[in-house]
Every structure is written in structure tokens, then in C-alpha cells.
Chains A and B, each alone.
Chain A
Amino acid sequence: EAGVAQSPRYKIIEKRQSVAFWCNPISGHATLYWYQQILGQGPKLLIQFQNNGVVDDSQLPKDRFSAERLKGVDSTLKIQPAKLEDSAVYLCASSLGGDLKETQYFGPGTRLLVL
């Protein structure tokens, strides 16, 4: 079974530029998560989707970050405009359903460096 796919794996941009990340979850997984992992810290949830609906986006900086999952499958996360402090690894994860006991499977992440 294929895992969670993310692209690109690496991205370097200048501050105030825009950037987008793509995630394709495991086939059949209804729940999709985007996390931000700053160097030396644990992942922090940005947004959680159940199919194509948003379940939790309380920690998403909505003035600059946006995410969508239009067809309930793959998802994009966008930052516009980027700031220096956005440098981090952006992890996508998926699970079968929204139940707390569902295992989350993480992708390899996209490493973003903002100069």
C-alpha cells in the first residue's frame, strides 16, 4: 500500500513570496492533517479535514495560510506571503476516519526555508 505522498520535498523562497505544498493521502483515508514542525520542536497541527470539510483550523494563521481539499482526496497548503518564521517542515498525515483511535500515517514532509 502506498504511503502519504508530499511534494515538493524541499523549497527555498524569499520572504514575502508565495509557496504551495501538495499532499496525497493514503487511498481511502477520509481524514487529512497538516502539521508544522519547527526545528527542535514537535509537530503542531495547522488544520484537519474530514473528507472535504474542515474539522479544526484553530491554529492556522489564516491571514497568510490557507488550505483546501476540494474533492476530499488530495490537499494543498499555501502560504502567502511567507515570513522568515515560516521556515519549518510541513507534514501531511492521514487516517481512515476521525476517531481518536485511528492511527495517523505521516508523509516525509516538505522542508521550507524562507530567506
Chain B
Amino acid sequence: GQQLNQSPQSMFIQEGEDVSMNCTSSSIFNTWLWYKQDPGEGPVLLIALYKAGELTSNGRLTAQFGITRKDSFLNISASIPSDVGIYFCAGSYAGKSTFGDGTTLTVKP
């Protein structure tokens, strides 16, 4: 089946710093999605990307759909303590979604 490689696995940053994480795959996707999961909760959709090359922002978050359709990145600018959590990418193709294994973000005040 399709697999996503998400990196880094974890990040420890200082409040105010910018963060970048990415997902790569050997397979192409039609849609890239970025979710955040807080402890004890289900994932919440942050950004959805539907076209190769698309760059979309949601507040301090920016994500891009790679031109090859095999990768995507998520940037968080000026991190704050509530950004702590696990960030997942997911790619969709032919109605099937595949999730990465997540990037755990820790923000030190």
C-alpha cells in the first residue's frame, strides 16, 4: 500500500520560533491534508490542499502541495505554547487516505 514518510519525528523549539515539517511519498496523491491531534482527542483538520503547487495559509500556518504530487510541507510561524501536539499529514488518492506517523511538537515558553 501507499506509505508516507513524515519528518521530523519530533521537534523541541522555543516559543516564537518558526517550525517546518514535511511529508514525502513514492506515490502521487490528489489531495494533501494536515491535521493536529491533542492528547486524548481525535485529529482536527488544519489545512487541505487540492492542486499540485498550491500554497495555502491558515493564520500562522502555511502548507504547500508539492509540484510532483509526492510531497507536502507545513510551516508554523511564531510558535506559541498551544501549538504543542502531534501534527499528521495525510494523502488521498482514488478515495483512499493514508496518514503519516506524525511529528510531535514541543514548545518551550
Contacts and interface: CB of A to CB of B under 8 A. Distances in A.
Contacts of B31: 100-101
Interface stretch (B54-62, B76-84, B94-102): B94-102
Interface in A56-80: 56
B42 A100 contact: no
A56 B50 CA distance: 22
A100 B30 contact: yes
Nearest to B90: A42
Question: Which residue of A40, A42, A43, A106 has the most chain B CB atoms within 10 A of its CB atom?
Answer: A42
B45 A42 contact: no
A56 B95 contact: yes
Contact of A103 (B42, B48, B102): B48
A109 B48 CA distance: 22
Contact of A108 (B41, B48, B97): B41
Contacts of B102: 40-42
For chain B, give the interface size range. Answer: 20 to 34
Interface residues of A, number: 20
Nearest to B45: A103
A41 B50 CA distance: 24
Contact of A91 (B42, B48, B90, B97): B42
Interface string A42-63: 1111000000000110000000
A101 B96 contact: no
A4 interface: yes
Interface string A94-111: 000010110110111100
Contact of A106 (B4, B30, B43, B97): B43
A41 B102 CA distance: 7
A98 B15 CA distance: 39
Contacts of B96: 45, 56
Interface of A: 4, 40-45, 55-56, 91, 93, 98, 100-101, 103-104, 106-109
Given A43-B99, A45-B97, A109-B42, 9 more contacts: A4-B42, A42-B90, A45-B96, A56-B96, A101-B50, A104-B45, A106-B41, A106-B43, A107-B42
